[in-house]
Amino acid sequence: MVQPRRWILALGACCLLAATQRGTAAVPVMAVRAAVNNAVLTETALAGRIDQLIGDRLAAKKVTPAPVADDAEFLRRVYLDLIGRIPRASEVRDFLADKSPDKRRQVVDRLLDSPQFVAHFAATWQATILPSGNQQQQFANNGPFRAWMEIQIRNNVPYDQWVREVITAGVGSNNLAPLQPVPVVRGGFQQQASPIAFVQVNEFKPENMAASTSRIFLGVRLECAQCHNHPFAAWKRQQFWEFAAFFTGVQRGGPRRLVVVNGVARGEPQPPGGAFPRSIKIPMEDKVVDARFLDAGKPKWQDQVDSRVTLADWVTSPKNPYFAQTGANRLWAHFFGIGINDPVDDEPGDENEVSHPELLKDLTEQFVAHKFDLKYLIRSIIASKAYQRTSAKTHPSQTDPRLFSRMALKGLTPAQLFDSVMEATGYVERGQPQLRGGPFGVNPRVEFVNKFSSTDKRTETQMSILQALTLMNGKLISDVTSLERSNTLAAIADAPFMNNAQKVEALFLATLSRLPRPEESERLTSYVTNGGATGDSRAALADVFWALLNSSEFIFNH
């Protein structure tokens, strides 16, 4: 069936992103220019502030903003962003039929309270915090860190509090065992919850932990200065090692102190009750430096307080010029595919210009004012008209994604793609009760995700030939689009109360989360009625299903 399916893929090209959009209005632009100074804004007020500042920039650039997306486009987008999968067909039908004026807010609240949101955002933050490609990564994926991260998201623990726990993971333990592990049950297995994987995947090395902490939580790529001074870089080698000195005590076998004998520095086991190590020798140099913050401030040490605790106090302080801004910018980039400061893990500069400085300032201030409440910031961003705009290009001026005149196309992450395929097809692998992932063993989800590279910049996603072939002709996709293995397809194909047009409509709702446009319905219904390339209407319906799953509209978040 390869040849017929190539033809139906071309036929399905009409399913690439909708050209006409309709729908209810988002939060109106508010006259909030005057007073954000020291004010604590509601979610609605901050959404209005977002739209006012973006609107001002669009007007200055003479850019015409795109209209608000229709309900179907909005629903699919918010499901993918908040819970990592497309909505079910029944959820789409219910939302489209709902006449409540605040139904968009209601669905956001419902998703934020769901276990799927907890799982998706825990996985999202884990992918940000733990280095990829490390030998410890497989252990961490379904291990204590994921369980611990889910607890933080489920309880809406303030961002600064759980970041502090990540930085200080293992403090107080001589063997870096988890601090106060919490037993949780995931996938039928009991396991411990702890952020200790942050130390493990950084191989217990001060330089690795310093580079990760500065990049992830402060938006500073300090590692560039690890080996030498770059003539155009803001950070120098000594500053890198001064920051790394905070992590000197992170060693297998417990804390260690730095001892200098005859000008030679070496690490020795930390004696009970001794002072914590707060210095480090710069490699290849006969020089020892003391721990110092990135703003050049000297720490105020306290007896018997680990260096990382002192560092965490500074990193997560509301007064830190990097911390809150980086957190707010990361969250913005999650929903828009691109940061206000982009790349998100590199500080602003001549080559990394902030697109909307005042907006980033306001988001940062409100994040702090609301005590680092991630859900507050999420609700505010989603309530904005900027987030709710269609991704369809409706005016020639809408070319620069950093102006946010329309929603950018974002490639699905490998996990989003797999989970959305499973949701659309209702596929269940025989003998694989843990299809979507379990703490042990390799399953179809792991195998699929490993074939698809993920990237921090979702607006520049590219698909390799292997990945394209996996979607077009791979065993998993062949199985999930077969009449014998797909619950969705079998139920639709065998429904006696549905005509072919209704069956095509049901496939659109299951895959693209919208109703087909008239021309799509007419063309594809005719294909099914005529039996496609084989004269079999059920096989033709399977071809349509396969084409929809392989369409650009399915593999992008838009």
Note the pLDDT of residue 73. Answer: 98
Give the residue from 207, 204, 242, 206 showing the smallest Cα distance to 223.
Answer: 207
Question: Which pLDDT does position 240 carry in this prediction?
Answer: 82
Query: Distance between CA atoms of 328 and 418, rounded to whole angstroms?
Result: 28
pTM of the model: 0.86
pLDDT of res. 320? 92
Q: What is the pLDDT of residue 302?
A: 87
Closest CA relative to residue 390, chosen from 13, 23, 14: 23
Q: Is the CB of residue 449 less than 8 Å from the CB of residue 476? A: no
* pLDDT at residue number 29: 33
Nearest to 508 by CA among 154, 92, 215, 100: 92
pLDDT of residue 280: 86
DSSP H or E run through 9: helix 2-11
DSSP sequence for 346-399:
S--BTTB--S-HHHHHHHHHHHHHTTT-HHHHHHHHHHSHHHHB-SS--STTTT
Amino acid in position 253: G
Average pLDDT, 10 consecutive residues per value, the chain (558 residues)? 47 43 36 53 98 98 98 98 97 98 98 97 93 52 83 97 94 48 55 85 90 93 58 65 86 46 42 63 84 89 89 96 95 96 82 90 98 98 98 96 96 90 79 43 68 60 62 77 89 94 97 97 97 93 94 92
**Inter-residue contact 239 to 229 (CB < 8 Å):** no
Q: Provide the pLDDT for residue 365.
A: 97
Amino acid letter for position 419: D
Q: 535: phi > 0 → left, psi -120 to 50 → alpha, else beta; which?
A: left
pLDDT of amino acid 204: 87
